[in-house]
Amino acid sequence: MKILIVSDTVVESLLETGDTNPVRDRIDLILSCGDLPPEYLSSLTFTFNVPLMYILGNHDLRYTTSPPTGCRNIDRRLVTFNTLKIIGFSGSRWYNGGANQYTEKEMKRFVNRMRFTLWQKGAPDIVLTHAPPRHVNDEDDPCHKGFTYYNAFIEKYKPAFFLHGHIHKFFTDDSERISIVNTTRVINCYGYYILEI
């Protein structure tokens, strides 16, 4: 299975057809880590003709009035795609009171509200977020600090993959995107990344 993950910046070449598209293999699913125009997500579903699931970033202000066509918001939901269980959490750390910004206490509450669902259905294979875990791929400024409680989530549920955006970095090699926490691969999906499972 191949999953295209997008985040934070529009990559126009992903919308092209033929040899100019950097993704030439068959994609089974698209995941969005946030901070992208809803029209871009709609166009990606049209281009690749596969399901797209998303969460919101701290700059996603138009999704209520202009949601992306044919896409599914999985914020604070556990969903299944084929045999994969995927859970999503929107937003970044609170830094100026804008949309989709949460305190550590709020995010802890959001995550803990999923405990019964996780007990019923089992631990997720993939966690989809905008912000990273604290001290894993994050920064020290107020806007780009990760959530500390995500570390506890990784420790308890041991997802195979923790996918995030929010941290704008260019990578010369995809291996630079990945940090290992216990057995979980934490991946910065800025721009786009292809996850093969």
Q: What mean pLDDT do residues 152-177 have?
A: 96
CATH number of the domain residue 113 falls in: 3.60.21.10
The structure tokens listed for 104 are 């550590």
Taking the alpha carbons of 23, 160, 167, 97 in that order, is the dihedral positive or negative?
positive
Domain tally for the chain? 1
Give yes or no for residue 8 having a pLDDT over 80: yes
Tell me: the pLDDT tens digits for 111-162? 999 999 999 999 999 999 999 999 999 999 999 999 999 999 999 999 999 9
Task: Name the token pair of 120.
Answer: 């019923």
Residue indicated by tokens 């901070």: 35
pLDDT, mean of residues 162-175: 94
Q: Do 53 and 29 touch, CB atoms closer than 8 A?
A: yes
Angle between helices 104-112 and 148-157 (to 10 degrees): 20
What are the CA-CA distances from residue 130 to residues 58, 79, 100 (Å)? 8, 17, 10
Measure the CA–CA gap between 186 and 174, rounded to whole angstroms.
Answer: 12
Mean pLDDT calculated for residue range 159-187: 96
Query: Which residue range is the domain that position 116 belongs to?
Result: 2-196
Q: How far apart are CA 61 and CA 36, in angstroms?
A: 10
Nearest alpha carbon to residue 189 among 76, 77, 31, 12:
31
Phi-psi category of residue 129: left, alpha or beta, with phi > 0 → left and psi -120 to 50 → alpha: beta
Which residues, at least 6 apart from 15, have a Cβ–Cβ distance to it below 8 Å?
21, 40, 43, 44, 47
Radius of gyration of the chain from Cα atoms? 16
